[in-house]
Amino acid sequence: MAPAMGQSHDHGGSTNIRALAVAAGLIIAFMVVEAVGGVLTGSLALLADAGHMASDAASLLLALFAAWLATHPPTPRRSFGYRRAEILAALANGVALVAIAIWIVIEAVRRLPDPPDIDGPIVLVIGVIGLVVNAGALVVLWGSRRESLNVDAAFRHVIADALGSVGVIVSALDLIATDWTPIDPILSLLIAVLIAFSAWSVLRESVAVLLEAAPRGMDVDAVGQAIAEHDGVSDVHDLHIWTITSGFVALSAHIVVEEGHDCHVRQREVATMLHERFDIAHTTLQTDHSRDSGFVPISEVERE
């Protein structure tokens, strides 16, 4: 059995932690300012938005905790460590995004027949400051979101909040100019739809990882064919490709080596080919010179 290649899989863990910590710090700082301002001025709008920011801060802190937990080394009992903690956090944040979208729809529908009076200038100031803070958090998270589903889920939470700030600004400007109050719930409904669409991709990808499906964009047939066509390999079966966590793809397979070829040499060659051609660094390959009763032709390669 081939040793696993690339045992050290940091995948930018330290960078992700720093990005999440800075973003959470920005959101929490603004939340505190809003809460203090709301208490001092008696503004319910400020206190309500502070509560919204608190939910975003909680999501970022959950993502931060999961990213930190994922850096813990493997143990005999947990051979992959806590890498899946990031996927669980992404799933939780995806569900939270859906819950936020549903709550916004409920509130918007409730307010639509009789929109409450809103202080346009105060709401405008809140929206502008919130948008600036969220823009800063988005810039901090931008580089890491492509490397980690966990960071991407947190990024989408901040996008949802930024969309909310844009809606607040547009609503406030309309109220100042025309005093047409239905604009607030109507924009809220639009934002809820955008948040739900944003949550869908996070939920889809995190569930796929937890169900150990083949990575998105990975052609399992092409991988199996490449192994089967390698010099000295007659066929492959029991092929499994799955994702441990973002950027960490694993593969296991049983390869049939032709008589007269060194199993160990072919094993190492196939592992190297998989790493270089498909970026699969963690491989477990079982080799045999004979075909078992469980042999499955390459045309019937098992998909995961």
Percent with pLDDT over 90 in the chain: 18
Please write the tens of the pLDDT for every residue from 215-251. 888 899 999 999 998 988 888 888 999 998 888 899 9
Give the domain ranges of the chain: 13-210, 220-300
Please write the tens of the pLDDT for every residue from 242-299. 998 888 899 999 998 888 788 888 899 999 999 999 999 899 998 887 544 344 444 4
Which fold does the domain 220-300 belong to in CATH? Alpha-Beta Plaits (3.30.70)
Domain 13-210 is found in CATH 1.20.1510.10: yes
Please write the tens of the pLDDT for every residue from 34-65. 788 767 755 555 666 676 778 788 888 988 89
Please write the tens of the pLDDT for every residue from 93-129. 889 888 888 888 888 888 888 777 667 787 788 888 8
What's the chain look like in SS3? CCCCCCCCCCCCHHHHHHHHHHHHHHHHHHHHHHHHHHHHHCCHHHHHHHHHHHHHHHHHHHHHHHHHHHCCCCCCCCCCCCCHHHHHHHHHHHHHHHHHHHHHHHHHHHHCCCCCCCCHHHHHHHHHHHHHHHHHHHHHHHHHHCCCHHHHHHHHHHHHHHHHHHHHHHHHHHHHHCCCCCHHHHHHHHHHHHHHHHHHHHHHHHHHHHCCCCCCCCCHHHHHHHHHCCCCEEEEEEEEEEEEECCEEEEEEEEEECCCCCHHHHHHHHHHHHHHHHCCCEEEEEEECCCCCCCCCHHHCCCC
